[in-house]
Amino acid sequence: MPWTVKRPSGNWTAMYRGPDRKARTAGTFPTKTEAKDAAVLAEAEALKPRWRDPKGEKLTWGEWCTAWWPSRSVEQTTLDTEESMVRIHIEPVFKDVPLIDITRHSVQDWATQLSQVLAAGSAQRVLGVLVSSLSGAIDAGHIDHNPATRIKLPPRSRGREVFLTREQYASILENVPHPDDRALLDFLVGTGARWGEAAGLHWHNVDLMRGTVTIVDTYNGVEIKPYPKGRRERRVPLFDWIVRDLDDERTVSACEVTHRIGRCTSGLVFPGRRGGVRDDRNFSRQVWTPALKAAGLDGLGATLHDLRHTYASWLVQAGVPLERIASLLGHASIATTQIYAHLAPASHDDVRLALGEPRLADGKQTAIASGYVGLRATK
């Protein structure tokens, strides 16, 4: 309900509430009647479906981002990463631009330039921050549409994944002297685990009797945490060659690493030399890169994450269905697993058996179709 407030000067300020129930002013007037009429009119406008906060016409994106940022319900590590994206990629272009002056054309132009300096996935994530900020501005009544939705980025090209052969991997492993390091590499290439999943793996999630490992946690560089939304707990089979170098003396005490939820009940399977969690950058520098170089494979540009790709490629080449591989890798969508589809061995026998030469009798279709290539070559 609109109301008025008398000022020390004797004037009257018109007050009303917008759809978000926040108090707003509609101006200051010499009489109470004028203020009341202005407040009633402003509140009536605010109840219309496409109402926009008048103050939003002067509010810049930078000012809005400052107000919107603390209200986000995301993990601190995500905030830290996206804060850097805002500072480097969004603020230089949109900080001083009023929200109502941000157009679809200006966002598209910016996004196109962004895609030229960032990888496709990174460009999409930066764009996502801008989209979220403008969606928040709609909810707050500052704008009535989001000019950053449905912006087109260049299609994602396939990443430069490296798929090692078994011979290449064996050559690399021969140049890793410490058994603990070999055990970790075998685990990565034999389970498709991400580094954080292996680094944060505890003994209570390893069942050597059944030959399985349950992957339910990950180490994010700060703490061990359950999977975020979209990823599910998964159970992956273990093989003898994966566990042959594992230290049988399992630590039953807590790992002494911060856990976001619950209490730790066992030690880490792959702890650092001096305890604690292994760091992937140190491992790459001290173990992986020297082994690649010694094996003469440094030109491949293979990373530790490529062991996950290698695991998937070996399964595909062995005929394991993509749906099963998606489950083993913990992909939320099989679309992610499709990057390995081209590695499957080509087999067209089903098509050859299905389509025989139409002019032949049905009884001869199968026999002739199965020899299609040979018949064609003799003509």
pLDDT band, very low/low/confident/very high, at 370 (cuts 50, 70, 90): very low
Report how far apart, in Å, the C-alpha atoms of 321 and of each of 64, 251, 318, 325, 345 are: 48, 37, 9, 6, 12
Residue ranges per domain, the chain?
3-51, 61-139, 166-342, 347-379
pLDDT band, very low/low/confident/very high, at 372 (cuts 50, 70, 90): very low
Average pLDDT, the chain: 82
The CATH fold of domain 61-139: DNA polymerase; domain 1 (1.10.150)
pLDDT band, very low/low/confident/very high, at 249 (cuts 50, 70, 90): low
pLDDT band, very low/low/confident/very high, at 158 (cuts 50, 70, 90): low
The structure's pTM equals 0.60
The answer to whether residues 257 and 237 touch, using CB atoms and an 8 Å cutoff, is: no
Residue 74 has a pLDDT of 76
Report how far apart, in Å, the C-alpha atoms of 101 and of each of 55, 116, 132, 319 are: 13, 24, 17, 54
Range among 6-15, 182-191, 225-234, 328-337 rated most confident? 182-191
Chain mean position to CA 104: 25
pLDDT band, very low/low/confident/very high, at 208 (cuts 50, 70, 90): confident
* DSSP letter assigned to residue 157: P
The CATH fold of domain 166-342: hpI Integrase; Chain A (1.10.443)
Chain mean position to CA 124: 10
pLDDT band, very low/low/confident/very high, at 341 (cuts 50, 70, 90): confident
The answer to whether residues 261 and 270 touch, using CB atoms and an 8 Å cutoff, is: no
Residue 146 has a pLDDT of 92
Q: Is the pLDDT of residue 185 over 90?
A: yes
Identify residue 225 by its one-letter amino acid code. Answer: K
